[in-house]
Amino acid sequence: MGDIADEEQVEAIRGGVATWKRWKEENPRKRPDLRGATLTGLNLEGINLNGARLVETDFEFCNLRKANFAGADLTRANLSNTDLTDAIFLNANLQGARLTGATVTRADFRGANVAGADLRQIKRGL
């Protein structure tokens, strides 16, 4: 276990939400590990990354509406310019994460650790 993502998982998530869901169903005991992966510009609306290892993962310009990041480790992750409308970050670790220019309308950050996170120019909307 190094500090890099599981390549099989990276390929699954790059295939979109349906491919990711299938991978999770086939690997119920595997903790999602996408550390350091570059996932820019993907449409991942409704993705379930509950409890995932997402340290330094690059999600810039992704559609992450309704994504579930509850309990996920997003330390130093790049969520800049993402759409996080209705996303769930319950008890997630966002230490040092970049959310510059992200849309966080109705996102749930209860219990999340945002120490040192870059929250400049976030859009809250209605």
Q: What is the maximum span of the chain, computed from C-alpha positions, in angstroms? A: 42
- In our burial notation (b when 16+ CB lie closer than 10 A, e otherwise), range 86-96 reads bbbbeebbbbb
* Each residue's pLDDT tens digit, 20-43: 999 999 999 999 999 999 999 999
* Each residue's pLDDT tens digit, 88-118: 999 999 999 999 999 999 999 999 999 999 9
Structural domains for the chain: 1-126 (2.160.20.80)
Q: Distance between CA atoms of 126 and 116, rounded to whole angstroms?
A: 26
Calculate the dihedral angle through the C-alpha atoms of 4, 40, 123, 107, rounding to the nearest 10 degrees: -60
CA 102 to chain centre: 12
